[in-house]
Chain A
Amino acid sequence: DAKTTQPPSMDCAEGRAANLPCNHSTISGNEYVYWYRQIHSQGPQYIIHGLKNNETNEMASLIITEDRKSSTLILPHATLRDTAVYYCIVRENTGNQFYFGTGTSLTVIP
C-alpha cells in the first residue's frame, strides 16, 4: 500500500518554481523517497530519489526534512511541459515493489 499523502492538485505559473509537498510520516530508516511524474497517457518518468540528504539533478531538487517525515519536490522554473501528475513513493532500495498513491496533478499556467 502507498505510504505517502499528497495534495490532489496544484497550479503554478510558468517560469516560477513549483514546490510539491509529500507526507511520509511512517517512513522507515531504510526506505528511500522517489518521485515520478506521468504525463497524460504515458508511462511514469523517473525524476529523482533520495534517502536523507537533499538531492539535485537536471530536472529537479528534492528536499527531505531532517526527521524524514516529509519532502518537497522543487521544479525550479516550471514550463508548460511540466504539467503532469507527480507521484511521491517510498520504497526500500532493494528491488521491492513501487506502490503508487494518488499523486498531485500539477497544472502550469501560462
Chain B
Amino acid sequence: GAVVSQHPSRVICKSGTSVKIECRSLDFQATTMFWYRQFPKQSLMLMATSNEGSKATYEQGVEKDKFLINHASLTLSTLTVTSAHPEDSSFYICSVAGYSGNTIYFGEGSWLTVV
C-alpha cells in the first residue's frame, strides 16, 4: 500500500496561534487527499477533500477560514488550523487516493494540543 507521512506527529501550541500540519504521499502521486479529525473515543470525522490544484471542498459544519487546506502538489497537502483554541485539540489524520481512487491510505495522524 501507499506510504503516507504526516508531520508533526505531535504539536502543542498556544491559544490564538496558528499551526500547520503536513501530509505527504511518499510513493505515489495523490490527486485527492482527505483530512479527518478524531476526538478521543470517537470515530473519524471527515473535514474536507482536497484536489491537487483546486480549492478544497469542506464538509458541512467545518469552517473553511479556520481550517485552511492547501494541496499544491501531487505529494503534499497541508492543513493550517488558524487562531487555534483548546476545543481544536484533536487527532488530525490525512488520507490519500491515487489516480484509480480505489483504495485510500491513511497517515499516522497528528496530535494537536492547544493550551
Indicate if the CB atoms of A44 and B103 lie closer than 8 Å. Answer: no
User: For residue A44, which residues in chain B have a CB less than 8 angstroms away from its CB?
Assistant: 44, 93, 95, 106
Give the residues from 41 to 99 in chain A that come closer than 8 angstroms, CB to CB, to chain B: 41-46, 49, 87, 93-99
User: For residue B93, which residues in chain A have a CB less than 8 angstroms away from its CB?
Assistant: 43-44
Indicate if the CB atoms of B102 and A98 lie closer than 8 Å. Answer: no
Give the residues from 31 to 45 in chain A that come closer than 8 angstroms, CB to CB, to chain B: 32, 34, 36, 38, 41-45
- How many CB-defined contacts (below 8 Å) exist between A and B? 55
Q: B43 within 8 Å of A by Cβ?
A: yes
Q: How far is the CB of A60 from chain B (nearest CB, A)?
A: 14
Q: Number of contact residues on A: which range applies?
A: 20 to 34
Chain A interface, >50% SS class: loop
Q: B61 within 8 Å of A by Cβ?
A: no
20 A-B pairs with CB atoms under 8 Å apart are: A41-B111, A42-B108, A42-B109, A43-B4, A43-B95, A43-B107, A43-B109, A44-B44, A46-B104, A46-B105, A46-B106, A49-B102, A93-B101, A94-B101, A95-B97, A97-B34, A98-B34, A99-B46, A100-B45, A101-B43
Chain B positions near chain A (C-beta within 8 angstroms): 1, 4, 6, 31-32, 34, 36, 43-46, 49, 91, 93, 95, 97, 101-109, 111
Known: A36-B106, A43-B6, A44-B106. 5 other contacts (CB 8 A): A2-B43, A41-B111, A43-B107, A49-B102, A100-B46
